Amino acid sequence: MLGYICRRLLYMTPILFGVSVVIFLLLHLVPGDPARLVAGIDATKEDVEIVRTSLGLDRPLPVQYVSWLGNVFRGDLGRSARTHRPVTHELRLTIPATVELTISAIAIAVLIGVAAGIVAAVRRNSAFDYSSMIVALLGVCTPSFWLGLMLMLLFAVKLDLLPTTGRGGWENLVLPAVTLGAGAAAIIARVTRSSMLEVLGTDYIRTAHAKGLSERAVVLRHAVKNALIPVITVIGLEFGYLLAGAVVTETVFAYPGVGRLLVEAIEFRDYPVIQGALLLLALQFALVNLVVDVLYACSDPRISYE
C-alpha cells in the first residue's frame, strides 16, 4: 500500500504541471489589465508601465511562466498585487476557514445522505422513499446561492436565531455548512439508495434472511458494508467539489475562506493569488482522490493495489 501511495504522489507531478499551464494561459487570455487596476483609474500611461514592469507583466508569457513555476518549486507563490503580502500568507489565513466549512458540510451531507438512502432502500416504494427522493431531487436542482439566501432570510432575518455573515463560533458555521452540504447530501442519498437496492437483491442477502437473521443485522452487517464502495466514491468526489465549490457559499455569507479570497482576487485581476489558490485547490482534489482509493482497499479486502 505504501508503494502505491508513493507512486500516486509521483503521478500527481505531471497532473499539477498541466493544471498550472492551463491556469496560467487562461488568466492571461482573460480581458483586463492588472497594471491599470493597481495603478488606479487616474494613473498616467507612464505610471501604468512602471507598475506593469514591477509586476513582471512586461516580459514574454513563456518567461513569466517559467519564472513563476520556478518560484512555486521553491515554495514561493509570489506577492499579492492587491495587498502586497505573500500569497502563501494570504492562503494560510483563509485555508483553515475553508477546511472547517468543507468538513462541516461533508459531515452533514454524509449523515443525512447515507441515513436517508439506507432507509429509503429498506422501505422501498414507501411514502418515505418517494418523499426523500423528491427532496433529494430538489436538493440537486436548487442553486446554492438561492438556498443560502433563503436560509439567511428565515433563520437570521425572520427568526433571528443565527448570524448571517462572518466566521466565529459554531453558530456562524451552521447556515454556510447546510447551504454547502445540501446538494452533496442529495447526491449521496440517491447513490446510497441505488447501491443498497442492488445489494439487497443479491443471493447472500436472501441467504442471510433464510438463516433467521433480523432485518437490522442483515442491513447493518451485510448490506451496508457491501454497498459502501460507490458511496465512498461519491463522498470523495463531493468533498473535492465542496473544497472548490465553496466560492459561492463563502461569497454569499461573507465567509473568510479561500473561495472569497479567490473572488476578490479575480475582481482585482490579482494573478499571483488566483494562480496560487487554483493550484492549491487542484492539489487538494488530487489528494482527496488518493484518500478515496486508499479507503477502497480498507473497506473491501478483495481490492489490492500491490
pLDDT at 305 over 70: no
The CA-atom distances, in angstroms, between 159 and each of 151, 153, 155, 201 are 10, 9, 5, 46
Q: By CB neighbour count within 10 A (0-12 exposed, 13-18 middle, 19+ buried), where does 219 fall?
A: buried
Q: What is the pLDDT of residue 301?
A: 60
CA distance 242 to 239: 5
Q: Which helix (H) or strand (E) holds 95?
A: helix 87-122
Sign of the alpha-carbon torsion through 245, 250, 251, 253? positive
Q: What is the pLDDT of residue 306?
A: 59
Q: What is the pLDDT of residue 107?
A: 92
Cell of residue 292, nine digits: 478515496
Encode pLDDT of 100-131 as tens digits: 888 999 999 999 998 998 888 888 888 888 89
- Asked if 21 and 65 count as a contact pair (C-beta separation under 8 A), the reply is yes
DSSP tag of 302:
T
Measured in degrees and rounded to the nearest 5, phi and psi for residue 143 equal -65, 140
**What sections of the chain are H helices per DSSP?**
2-29, 34-39, 45-55, 61-73, 87-122, 127-141, 144-151, 170-200, 203-210, 215-217, 224-226, 228-252, 258-268, 271-299
Q: What is the pLDDT of residue 75?
A: 83
**Count of beta carbons in the 10 Å neighbourhood of residue 233:** 17
Mean pLDDT score of the chain: 83
Pick the more confident residue, 128 or 306: 128
pLDDT band at 302 (very low <50, low <70, confident <90, very high): low
- The per-residue b/e assignment along 23-58, b for 16 or more CB within 10 angstroms, e otherwise, is bbeebeeeeeebbbbbbeeebeeeebeebbeebebe
Encode pLDDT of 63-106 as tens digits: 888 888 888 888 888 888 788 888 888 888 888 888 888 899 99
In which residue ranges of the chain is CATH 1.10.3720.10 found? 87-299
Angle at 174 between CA 172 and CA 176, to 5 degrees: 85
Distance of CA 103 to the CA centre of its chain: 9
pLDDT band at 214 (very low <50, low <70, confident <90, very high): confident
**DSSP reduced 3-state for 270:** coil
Cα-trace Rg, the chain: 24
Cell of residue 46, nine digits: 507612464
**Count of beta carbons in the 10 Å neighbourhood of residue 231:** 23
Q: What is the pLDDT of residue 297?
A: 67
Domain at 87-299: CATH architecture: Orthogonal Bundle (1.10)
Sequence-distant (6+) residues with CB within 8 A of 90 are: 80, 83, 261, 273, 276
193: amino acid identity, one letter:
R
pLDDT at 24 over 60: yes
* Rounded mean pLDDT, 195-224: 78
Q: What is the pLDDT of residue 65?
A: 87
* Rounded mean pLDDT, 39-57: 77
Q: What is the pLDDT of residue 111?
A: 92
Sign of the alpha-carbon torsion through 198, 204, 207, 208? negative
Encode pLDDT of 238-296 as tens digits: 887 787 767 888 888 888 888 888 888 888 888 888 888 888 888 888 888 788 777 77
CA distance 127 to 195: 20
Angle at 174 between CA 167 and CA 252, to 5 degrees: 60
pLDDT at 1 over 80: no
Q: What is the pLDDT of residue 304?
A: 60
Angle between helices 170-200 and 127-141 (to 10 degrees): 130
